[in-house]
Amino acid sequence: MTKKTRLIILLICAALFFIITPYIVLYSLGYRIDFEKRKIVATGGIYVKALPSSAEVIIDSKIKTKTGILSNSAFVQNLSAKTHSVAIKKEGYYDYQKNLAVKENEVTKLEHVILIKQNNTFKLLDNNVDYFSLSPNENNLLLAAISDKKVDFKIINLKTQQAQNLSLLAGINLPTTAPQVLDLQWSGDSSRALINISGSYFLIKLILPKFSITVIPLLTNAKEISFNPQDNQEIFFVKDKNLYSSKKSLPVLKNVIVYQLANQTITWFSYDGFMYASNVAGNLQSKINLQPLNIKKNGAYKIKIISGIVFLQEDELLLWVNPSLKIVESFYSSVKDFKISPDGQKILYCNDHEILFSSIPSTTAEKMLLNRFSEKISNCYWLNNEYLIFNLGDKVAISETDTRGNINTVVLPEKLSLGDDKTIEIERNNTNNPLKIYFSQADKQLYLLTKKNMLASERLIP
């Protein structure tokens, strides 16, 4: 090899070194060459955390990895700054798919994914139920079977599975035939329940060794009935526009439309258009809003305190008191129900066809429209802080609250598995006895009533 040839080879190697080395260094630092835009760009990554563990994560139908057994997470880096498709799969579970935008030098996080099991097993608790309610501590399940001549109650301790039965007979301790369960209020400690049957109130005491039920004549024609959260033997109620206590003959407060009792404070809306707060004795009153509201004749009102913020619902109009200005402002114009998330950081509100949520306590936060459905929405509950479960017509749906890209929603099967190849099909188009559900935060189970069958699912989420 001549000296000239060796020199040429050396120069070529040197040129390749100076050309390739910067690219290798940039590549190792997470940079790429965008040939379309003819410039060097930084990359980003996607971090996924999903339950259950060992789920397959697929990026853009090409890059495949799995979440760890202990960490339940996976990290994919060196992704170009654009929108990427993320799919999460596990056998026996509904697939999860979301389009996520990745930015230069940033990690996009997808941290709260829960894969929903395709076929959950249900347990038949009773096959003759017209009404059910869970106690606040979610340890007791009250079932009612209603006929023309009586109401039979069964109270099940969900921890021990022990049950006790009680009955009310028409013409004896029921004032009417063809009774109807209109409402039920639990005491804060879950040891007592007030049940409204065709306008008459009965007190159920869940005190061992034997439960009891007695009529409460004092509550005839009363409204807005509730227990004192700190004293289960004291009942508050509104009668003739005044708020009474079962322990006092004189009114606690006058001119009360609606109230809420919490933390030894009564917050109420008065017929003068103002909202007030006082102690449980009705003393130390303070005005909450500085400008009065117009009272709507025959309007239905609810009041609720969430994270120190006062919300007032007038029919389907949800209002809130701006704490800095002390004036009442519109929060959302069409609300059937609203609930606080388990961590107290979000408020869920829904109507017949929309589900929305906002952050708490910042009521100026954007109101996020989660979804709009043609079918009627009812019985909305938080599954955890990131997922919801609700009735969608005659079906049960579960939805995430991550509004980035598409929103993942799954509908549970209409045929519910009881195990051993036995199933119960959810009844459809029954306007008199529509599907009713309740999700328990204590045991993470779905309680469901259809065709008079009371069912409890296996644990829905980890």
Identify the bridge partners of residue 150 per DSSP, sorted by sequence position: 169
The answer on pLDDT for 29 being more than 60 is no
Task: Compute the distance between CA of residue 346 and CA of residue 309 in angstroms, rounded to an integer.
Answer: 13
Q: Is the pLDDT of residue 296 over 60?
A: yes
The token pair at 293 is 């509201």
Tokens linked to 94: 């509904």
% of the chain beyond a pLDDT of 90:
71
**pLDDT confidence bin for 284, thresholds 50/70/90:** confident
CA distance 198 to 282: 31
Question: Element (H or E) spanning 26, and its range?
Answer: helix 3-28
Residue 437 CB coordination number (10 Å): 20
The CB-side HSE value for 136 (13 A sphere, CA atoms) comes to: 12
How far are the Cα atoms of 114, 136, 218 from residue 93, in angstroms, in the given order? Answer: 10, 31, 53
Residue 384: per-residue pLDDT: 96
Using only C-alpha atoms, what is the Rg of the chain?
Answer: 30
Residues 6+ away with beta carbon under 8 Å from 82: 101, 102
Q: What is the pLDDT of residue 265?
A: 95
For 41-57, the pLDDT digits (tens) are 678 899 999 999 999 99
Please state the pTM of the whole predicted model: 0.88
What pLDDT is attached to residue 1? 64
Question: Is it the case that residue 316 has pLDDT exceeding 60?
Answer: yes
Whether residue 179 is predicted with pLDDT greater than 70 in this model: the reply is yes
Sheet (strand 317-322) strand order: 301-306, 309-314, 317-322, 327-332
Q: How many CA atoms lie within 13 A of 6 on its CB side?
A: 3
DSSP state, residue 405: S
Q: Between these two residues, 256 and 264, which has the higher pLDDT value?
A: 256
Q: Is the pLDDT of residue 321 over 80?
A: yes
Average pLDDT over residues 187-211: 91
Is residue 4 pLDDT above 90, yes or no? no
> So what's the pLDDT on residue 208?
74
206-224: average pLDDT: 89
**Which residues does 399 contact at the CB level (< 8 Å), separation at least 6?**
355, 370, 371, 387, 388, 390, 407, 408, 409, 410
Over the chain, what is the mean pLDDT?
90
Determine the Cα angle at 450 with ends 444 and 456, to 5°.
25
Q: What is the pLDDT of residue 196?
A: 94
Q: What are phi and psi of 23, to 5 degrees?
A: -65, -45
Buried b (16+ CB within 10 A) or exposed e, 159-180: eeeeeeebebebeebbeeeebe
DSSP state of 206: -
H or E element in which residue 10 lies: helix 3-28
How crowded is the C-beta side of 111, counted as CA atoms within 13 Å? 4
End-to-end C-alpha distance for the chain, whole angstroms: 72
Phi/psi region, residue 272 (left: phi>0; alpha: psi -120 to 50; beta: rest), is alpha
Which of left, alpha, beta for 399 (phi over 0: left; psi -120 to 50: alpha)? beta
pLDDT above 90: residue 184: yes
**pLDDT confidence of 428, banded at 50, 70, 90?**
confident
Sign of CA dihedral 225, 228, 234, 236: negative
CB atoms < 10 A from the CB of 443, how many?
Answer: 17
With bands split at pLDDT 50, 70 and 90, how would you rate the model's confidence at 19?
Answer: low
Q: What is the DSSP letter of 217?
A: G
Consecutive H or E run containing 65: strand 63-66
